[in-house]
Amino acid sequence: MEKATLPGRYANIIIDISHEKVDKTFQYKIPEAMKGFLEPGMCVQVPFGTGNHMRKGYVIETTDIAEFPPEKMKEIATIVKDGVSVEADAIKLAAWMRETYGSTMIAALKTVLPVKQTVKLKEKKKIVCIATKEELTSAYGESLRKHQHAKVRILAELLKEPVLPYELVTGKLHVAAATVRSLESQGIIKVEAENYYRNPVQMEAAWETKKELSHEQQAVRDSILSDYEKGIRKTYLIHGITGSGKTEVYLALIEAVIKQGKQAIVLIPEIALTYQTLLRFYKRFGDRVSVMNSTLSAGEKYDQCIRAQKGEIDVIIGPRSALFVPFANLGLIVMDEEHEGSYKSELTPRYHARETAEYLAKIKGASLILGSATPSLEAYNRAQKGEYGLFKLTKRLTGGNLARTHIVDLRQELREGNRSIFSKKLQELIEDRLNKKEQIILFLNRRGYAGFISCRSCGYVMKCPHCDVSLSQHMGGKLVCHYCGYERASVTKCPSCTSPYILGFKAGTQQIEEQIHMRFPTARVLRMDGDTTKKKNSYEEILSAFAEEKADILVGTQMIVKGHDFPKVTLVGILAADLSLNDSDYRCGERTFQLLTQAAGRAGRGEREGDAVIQTYRPDHYSVIRAAQQDYEAFYEEEILYRELAGYPPAEHMLSIMITAKNEEAGSVFANEIAAYVKGLQEASEVCDKVKMIGPAKARIGKINDIYRFVIYLKHKDDTNLQNIRGEIEVFLDKKECRNEGVQFDLDPIDSF
Ligand code: ADP
Ligand code: ZN
Ligand code: ZN
């Protein structure tokens, strides 16, 4: 075994590349001449079955561990050199994810390969307006009078667009099939098979609404395109506030790339994937674009992958999993709102879509464009270092100015005797907007009726018996655990000291709603939080109701600060800006800045000026101040300094090792064993010695669902050092007998544990 760059005398090979068959690997001997050359994703010919017929297979990994006696093992015949295939790329990507984030090869393959499920190919349909403009207008007026909301929605769209994709109407617009049929029998529309509109020329006439790009936008497009034409492939970050025209730039770039016969993947967090956004892509690219999201069935998702593979679509839009749609000639990946936490997978392999997109772009020869109003520290740091191209879009194209912001010190309010949830400033402005019939958004980043319940006499806190978290009080007095769903009746006496002063502290969305009813009895209120959006579609329904001005005030949690645009909103109240600063997590400053910036940005989207009131107990915190000033760069400078001083990502990489166990004692012993093993590695190697270890310690939430949790953190500037140590730990764990404890790795975790 001379110059083997990759370990292994044996290769694990899959014959059939599909999600269902990845567990079925076959082991082959690697011939002497191939040693060190085989890489995951390579296509090989192998003798297969009793007849030893030659079959094509793919290498998924090489190993020194023989699964059965080597003398009975067949040898790989040849390496197939027919260029790259979609399958090979998928396996390469999986191998990289396995290396980077830690998981089994099978789990990584299952992440990148679509679940095969054949569905009967549904006919793609379109809704075509066949009425005249006058007929349409009068039908619209009539359904308005009759309060036929679904009809109003579809007719309003038809007034703007004569042709609508059927699935958009029944999906995002929530129009029932019966409503469509009723319009059909009225002779207003016709439902047609998609093929009818396959003619791109016709499509262009009906759909195209290309905008003349602004100078700023043009500069970004031209610069990226000129790189692209020169064959330069890299990552770009577009930093621009909402409404500054980022999406329009993506559209222009995608169009240019498609013209060269390439395809594009557009990642958008599911929560921001609104009907309006989708429609813009449909209008530009017609039926060459498709959507991937969680409401699709496995069969429908598989169908999208097949369409991509066959070259039937050029653009796919979706959340992080859309990365794995197998395009043959991928030219561009766009990742909008790149700072969003939902881009990190919570399942093993715990991949981050940004890094994964970067690797995918590399193996596919594509460029990657990141966009955000509040870039992640990771992305901005790399842009600062010149690793990413950086562009700024500074002007809001929708008109409207940034809101005036007011920071209110809640401690001062209390000193002045105001014990209500609303500061004087906020009360004044709410009254003003109610009088002017303008809309208001009140934002709180917690859910439930009240925060934790504690005894004011002895400090006892009501906790979940299964999880190490406090219970929250809901309407009707129920106490609920947000981690496992445990419920119990409320208490009137402290279980510890029997004092009757056991109370909830912080206000929740329900309590705010009650307070509004008390103070502003005429105001119409909508509430949006985890409780009111449990039902399918309720999220969209609440937002549409607010957009249709069926309420004056929308109260809610993080969900309301994303996506939708409400031009009539001229006041945003952020009730307790610093709640998110209390998370014991190094990213809490960044998250707070993002949330406050986004929330404040909700006011003043239309023609009228807006105000944002930021209520806080920490008016001097830089996240609060910089968000109020809408000054990202200043925030970045302060935050990166902190990360560098404390050695947190992106200054250093961090590997968290989470140990879970049913038995607390056993878990602790096991965590200590792993830590001792790491210490041994540190003593044996200078490189490992430079890695800093923190812990083992009880996790921030020490127990969930009766499972105890311990963590060890490893930190180092170079992530390959962390990956090597993880590899060693994996070997160590493999040798240990399988027990009742679990170990999960997470590189650069989003939430600390
Ligand atoms: P972002 O993605 O940064 O939020 P968008 O691309 O969605 O910004 O643009 C915001 C609004 O401005 C949209 O309604 C869009 O149609 C409009 N818009 C974008 N670019 C232009 C332009 N060059 N001319 C006119 N309107 C534009
Ligand atoms: Zn007590
Ligand atoms: Zn619980």
Instruction: Report long-range pairs for 416-423 (Cβ below 8 Å, ≥24 apart).
Output: 420/515, 420/519, 421/507, 421/511, 421/512, 421/515, 421/575, 422/515, 422/519, 422/573, 422/575, 423/613, 423/615
pLDDT band of 564, cuts 50, 70, 90: low
Taking a C-beta distance cutoff of 8 angstroms, is the pair 10, 27 a contact?
yes
Tokens of 489: 């009746």
With tokens 């790399």, the residue in question is: 382
Place of tokens 């990166």: 640
- DSSP annotation of 352: B
Q: Which residues pair with 648 in a beta bridge?
A: none
Residues 6+ apart with CB under 8 A from 386: none
pLDDT tens digit string along 5-54?
Answer: 456 889 999 887 666 666 778 899 999 888 888 888 888 889 988 888 88
Confidence at residue 25, expressed as pLDDT on a 0 to 100 scale: 82
Give the Cα separation of 153 and 168 in Å (integer): 12
Query: What pLDDT, in 10s, does the model give residues 183-222?
Result: 888 888 888 765 332 322 233 434 556 788 999 999 999 9
Q: Which ligand is nearest to the CA of 488?
A: 3
Helices (H), 685-714: 686-689
Give distance in angstroms: CA of 466 to centre of ligand 2: 21
Q: What protein residues have CB closer than 5 angstroms to ion ligand 2?
A: 455, 457-458, 460, 494, 496-497, 499
Measured from the Cα of 250, ligand 1's closest atom is: 6
CA of residue 585 to ligand 3 center, whole Å: 21
Ramachandran angles phi, psi of 563, nearest 5°: 70, -115
Closest to 602 measured CA to CA, from 393, 446, 441, 445:
441
Q: pLDDT by residue (tens digit) across 723-732?
A: 999 989 988 8
| Distances, alpha carbon 239 to alpha carbons 393, 394, 643, 649, in Å | 6, 8, 21, 20
Q: Is-contact 549 439, C-beta < 8 A?
A: yes
Residue 606 has pLDDT above 60, yes or no: yes
Query: Which of helix, strand or coil describes residue 491?
Result: coil
Confidence of residue 603 (pLDDT cuts 50, 70, 90): confident
As a whole number, the mean pLDDT across the chain is: 84
Question: 213, 248, 277: which to mutate for ligand 1, most atoms within 8 A of CB?
Answer: 248
Helix (H, G, I), strand (E, B) or coil at 205: helix
Q: How far apart, in whole angstroms, are the C-alpha atoms of residue 379 and residue 368?
A: 12
Determine the distance separating the centroid of ligand 2 and the alpha carbon of 185, expressed in angstroms: 68
* Proximal ligand: closest to the CA of 487: 3
Q: Is the pLDDT of residue 77 over 60?
A: yes
- Name the residue of 372, 392, 398, 605 to mutate for ligand 1: max ligand atoms within 8 A of Cβ: 398
Give the mean pLDDT of 289-303: 79
Rounded to 10°, the helix 215-229/246-259 angle is: 30
Protein residue whose Cα sits closest to atom 26 of ligand 1: 397
Question: Measured in angstroms, how far is the CA atom of residue 416 from the centroid of ligand 2?
Answer: 29
The closest residue, in CA terms, to atom 14 on ligand 1 is 398
Compute, in angstroms, the gap from residue 487 CA to the centroid of ligand 3: 8
For the chain, give the number of residues.
753
Distance (angstroms) between ligand 1 centre and the Cα of 173 equals 22
CA of 243 to the centre of ligand 1 (A): 6
Q: Are 111 and 349 in contact (CB under 8 A)?
A: yes
Residue 543, pLDDT above cutoff 60: yes
Domains of the chain (ranges; CATH) run 10-112 (3.40.1440.60), 122-196 (no CATH), 215-393 (3.40.50.300), 404-449+505-643 (3.40.50.300), 451-504 (no CATH), 653-747 (3.30.70.600)
Bridge partners of 707, per DSSP, are 704
Q: Which of 241, 397, 562, 602 to mutate to test the pocket of ligand 1 (most atoms within 8 A of CB)?
A: 397
Q: What is the pTM of this model?
A: 0.80
Q: Structure tokens of 566?
A: 């409400």
Residue 2 pLDDT class (50, 70, 90 cuts)? very low
* Surface-to-core class of residue 301, CB atoms within 10 Å of its CB (0-12 exposed, 13-18 middle, 19+ buried): buried
Q: What three-state secondary structure class fits 444?
A: coil
pLDDT, tens only, 114-128: 777 655 555 567 888
Detail the DSSP E strand segments found in 565-724: 569-574, 611-616, 653-661, 692-704, 707-716
Place of tokens 């040798």: 735
Residues in the ligand 1 pocket, defined by CB under 6 Å: 211-214, 217, 240, 242-248, 397-398
Q: How far apart are alpha carbons 162 and 142 in whole angstroms?
A: 19
Ligand 1 atom, smallest distance to 241 CA: 3
